[in-house]
């Protein structure tokens, strides 16, 4: 995995630098917070704005990818039935909700939501991490759900449906070459 600095170098080399400026760091309050904006074409997503932020004083850094194209709301239904389907890539925009109805799981977009790329297994691991954090923070026991998620991730044989509901129509599911998962895209 590339570090934030490497990502900036690659994006700057392959993309179009739009601007660079310094401002006050939201963490330490010093004026050493560098923001670099780059326009970059991302396969499967289209034109993106990459905003790289780094404070040379305290080391805080954050990279954001903002889609520069939007379309009509879409719902993507991915039927996961065999181990190969767990490797379907999910390009999730910051506006998308991810639902696994069979498990009652729902990942809602928020004001701080980031775009990410993962696969079905990665989505399940995100939900498992969230369940574990919830148990620690709330002192509640969700052992049944935690065990069920761990089994599904380990065996990759439980059929399930993954729904990506994107209000801006940006998210996509990309299967591996040669695989033929059931993917239905609905424009709402």
Distance CA 71, CA 52 (A): 25
Per-residue pLDDT in tens (0 to 9) along the chain, 188 residues: 344 455 555 555 578 899 999 999 999 999 999 999 999 887 777 888 989 999 999 999 998 888 888 789 999 999 999 999 999 999 998 899 999 999 999 999 988 888 888 999 999 999 999 999 988 888 788 889 999 999 999 998 889 999 999 999 989 999 998 889 999 999 98
Q: What is the CATH number of domain 74-187?
A: 2.60.120.1040
Q: Are 31 and 51 in contact (CB under 8 A)?
A: no
Q: What are phi and psi of 53, to 5 degrees?
A: -125, 130
Q: Are 92 and 172 in contact (CB under 8 A)?
A: no
Q: Are 74 and 172 in contact (CB under 8 A)?
A: no
Supply the pLDDT for residue 3. 45
Give the residue among 164, 174, 24, 182 at the shortest CA–CA distance from 92: 164
Q: Where are the domains of the chain?
A: 4-67, 74-187
**Of 1.10.3470, 3.30.200, 3.40.50, 2.20.25, which CATH number belongs to 4-67?**
2.20.25
pTM of the model: 0.76
Distance CA 36, CA 51 (A): 6
């Amino acid at each position: 995995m590339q570090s934030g600095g490497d990502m900036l170098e690659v994006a700057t080399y392959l993309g179009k630098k739009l601007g660079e400026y310094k401002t006050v760091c939201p963490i330490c309050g010093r004026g050493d917070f560098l923001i670099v904006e780059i326009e970059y074409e991302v396969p499967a997503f289209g034109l993106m704005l990459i905003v790289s932020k780094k404070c040379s004083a305290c080391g805080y850094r954050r990279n954001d990818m903002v889609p520069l194209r939007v379309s009509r709301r879409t719902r993507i239904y991915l039927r996961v039935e065999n181990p190969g389907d767990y490797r379907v890539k999910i390009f999730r925009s910051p506006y998308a909700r991810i639902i696994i109805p069979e498990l009652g799981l729902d990942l809602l977009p928020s004001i701080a939501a980031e775009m990410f790329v993962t696969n079905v297994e990665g989505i399940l691991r995100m939900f498992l991490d969230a369940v574990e954090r919830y148990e620690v923070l709330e002192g509640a026991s969700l052992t049944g759900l935690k065990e069920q998620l761990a089994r599904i991730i380990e065996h990759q044989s439980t059929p399930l449906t993954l729904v990506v509901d994107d209000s801006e129509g940006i998210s996509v599911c990309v299967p591996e070459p040669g695989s033929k998962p059931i993917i239905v895209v609905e424009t709402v």
